[in-house]
Amino acid sequence: MASAVTSFPHDVDEWSPKPAAPGIICPRPDCTMDCWDVVYSPLWMVSTVLLALLVRLQRRGGWDPRSCHTQLRGKTAIVTGANSGIGKSIAMDFAGRGARVLLACRSVSRGAAAAEDIKAKTGNSDVHVRQVDLSSLDSVGELAQKILKEEKALHILVNNAAVSDLMKTSAPARIVTLSSVNHKKGEVDFSHFHGENLTHRLDRVYNHTKLHNIICTNELARRLQGTGVTANSVHPGVVMTGMMRHYPFRIRCLFNLIGQLFFKSAEEGAVSAIYCAVSEEAEGVTGKYFDSDCSLVLPAPLARDPALAAKDFDICQRLTSRL
Q: How far apart are CA 133 and CA 69, in angstroms?
A: 33
Residue 130, classed as helix, strand or coil, is: strand
Q: Which residues are catalytic?
A: 206
Task: Choose among 166, 71, 219, 149: nearest CA to 157.
Answer: 166
Instruction: Tell me how many helices (H) and strands (E) the chain has.
Output: 11, 8
Q: Are 159 and 176 in contact (CB under 8 A)?
A: yes
Give whole-number Cα distances, 299 to 75, 148, 186, 217, 264, in Å: 30, 33, 11, 12, 21
Contact 72, 153 (CB under 8 A): no
In 20-161, the DSSP E strands lie at 76-80, 100-105, 127-131, 156-158
